[in-house]
């Protein structure tokens, strides 16, 4: 049954769709998720509690306090057809006295409750990041053995990949400059580039040559205001940079990778637009001329 339309969207009649209402559940209902036994768990912001109620009978079965002013909550799989329904996590908006004071700004508080029995039982109170909305959770067994640790470099199909330092190069295509760059502990190749001009579109295609877990490399250009990169092992990512002024611009790794992390840097020399400075690149003291496809 519909009550007409609003903005072209059919509006369902409230009473026609209503199964029933829970009587006196709490103050400030905010978010509801479900277990696998026909029960619902609703957060109440004003009364700072989680209320467990039965969807069929609409009766309140249990309630537990949260600390404090709960926002959203999460039951593993609680918004799916088959919830796991063993825990509920309370994500709170107010912390107050839960942890040691750290000044005016506090971390957010959260609690985990065991809901496998008839009554909810608090099992952990812990600090966390700001209260997430509609956070999802699942058993770790579903993903831990499928979690990717590295991208295999030999399977990298990126069109601008450099699978080794010998493939590092710089290519000019009109006003576009493509830098095929590699990163590995603890240097970039190339790490010195000359002949870039003001107004060029410079594309740094950075391939992380590492094949070890948890060794990403960052990449940034001083003066690039759009982004920086974080490149996973075996991955290629691209940063576009359009230099606006003549000068020498550092490039550097932005993610700690080794004891020589701060040595992982290089320089790009930018010349005036219309200048005749040749496009060259260097790895350490070894130099090479760059390719210019526009002259062919």
Report the DSSP beta bridge partners of residue 20.
Answer: none
Percentage of the chain lying above the pLDDT 90 cut: 86
The number of CA neighbours under 13 Å toward the Cβ of 174 is: 1
Q: Choose between 285 and 107: higher pLDDT.
A: 107
**C-alpha dihedral sign at 140, 38, 26, 120:** negative
**Residue in this structure with the two tokens 């740094």, named with its chain if needed:** 204
Contact 57, 84 (CB under 8 A): no
- Average pLDDT over the chain reads 94
Distances (CA, A) of 92 to 77, 95, 98, 137: 20, 7, 11, 17
Tell me if domain 2-142 and domain 153-295 are identical in fold: no
Q: Distance between CA 109 and CA 122 in Å, rounded?
A: 14
Q: Calculate mean pLDDT across residues 27-36.
A: 97
Question: Does the pLDDT value for residue 22 go beyond 60?
Answer: yes
Contact 171, 180 (CB under 8 A): yes
Query: For position 264, what pLDDT does the model report?
Result: 95
The CATH architecture annotation of domain 153-295 reads: Sandwich (2.60)
Question: Does the pLDDT value for residue 296 go beyond 50?
Answer: no
Query: Which two three-digit tokens encode residue 123?
Result: 């099992």
Q: Distance between CA 207 and CA 128 in Å, rounded?
A: 34
Q: pLDDT grade, residue 62 (50/70/90)?
A: very high
- Number of helices (H) and strands (E) in the chain: give both, helices first: 1, 23
124-152 residue pLDDT tens? 999 998 888 999 999 999 999 899 999 99
Q: pLDDT grade, residue 153 (50/70/90)?
A: very high
Contact 268, 251 (CB under 8 A): yes
Q: Calculate mean pLDDT across residues 50-71.
A: 98
pTM metric for this prediction: 0.75
Query: Which two three-digit tokens encode residue 170?
Result: 């710089």
92-131 residue pLDDT tens? 999 999 999 889 988 999 999 999 999 999 999 999 988 8
Q: pLDDT grade, residue 294 (50/70/90)?
A: low
Query: For position 287, what pLDDT does the model report?
Result: 57
198-210 residue pLDDT tens? 999 999 999 999 9
| Candidates 1.20.120, 3.40.50, 1.10.3470, 2.40.128; CATH matching 2-142 | 2.40.128
**Segments making up each domain of the chain, as ranges:** 2-142, 153-295
Contact 169, 281 (CB under 8 A): yes
Query: For position 163, what pLDDT does the model report?
Result: 98
Q: pLDDT grade, residue 289 (50/70/90)?
A: low
Q: Choose between 184 and 283: higher pLDDT.
A: 184
Contact 98, 122 (CB under 8 A): no
Query: For position 288, what pLDDT does the model report?
Result: 61
In angstroms and rounded to an integer, the radius of gyration of the C-alpha atoms of the chain is 28
Distances (CA, A) of 23 to 53, 59, 127: 10, 8, 33
> Which ranges of the chain would DSSP assign to H, the alpha helix?
14-17
Distances (CA, A) of 239 to 34, 257, 275: 44, 20, 24
């Amino acid at each position: 049954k519909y009550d007409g339309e609003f903005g072209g969207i059919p509006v369902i009649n409230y009473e026609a769709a209503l199964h029933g209402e829970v009587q006196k559940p709490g103050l400030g209902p905010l978010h509801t998720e479900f277990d696998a036994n026909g029960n619902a768990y609703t957060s109440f912001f004003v009364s700072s509690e989680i209320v467990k109620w039965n969807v069929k009978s609409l009766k309140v079965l249990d309630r537990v306090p949260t600390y404090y002013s709960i926002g959203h909550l999460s039951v593993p799989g609680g918004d799916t057809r088959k919830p796991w329904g063993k825990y509920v996590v309370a994500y709170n908006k107010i912390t107050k006295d839960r942890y040691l004071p750290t000044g005016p700004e506090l971390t957010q508080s959260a609690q985990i409750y065991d809901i496998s029995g008839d009554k909810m039982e608090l099992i952990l109170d812990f600090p966390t990041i700001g209260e997430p909305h509609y956070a999802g959770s699942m058993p770790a067994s579903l993903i831990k053995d499928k979690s990717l640790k590295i991208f295999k470099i030999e399977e990298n199909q990126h069109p601008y990949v450099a699978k080794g330092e010998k493939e590092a190069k710089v290519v000019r295509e009109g006003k576009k400059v493509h830098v095929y760059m590699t990163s590995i502990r603890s240097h970039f190749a190339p790490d010195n580039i000359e002949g870039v001009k003001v107004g060029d579109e410079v594309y740094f295609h950075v391939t992380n040559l590492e094949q070890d877990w948890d060794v990403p490399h960052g990449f940034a250009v001083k003066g690039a205001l759009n982004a920086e990169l974080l490149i996973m092992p075996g991955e290629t990512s691209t940063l576009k940079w359009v230099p606006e002024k003549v000068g020498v611009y550092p490039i550097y790794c932005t993610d700690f990778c080794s004891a020589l992390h701060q040595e992982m840097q290089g320089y790009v020399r930018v010349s005036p637009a219309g200048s005749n400075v040749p496009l060259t690149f260097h790895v350490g003291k070894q130099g090479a001329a760059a390719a210019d496809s526009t002259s062919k």
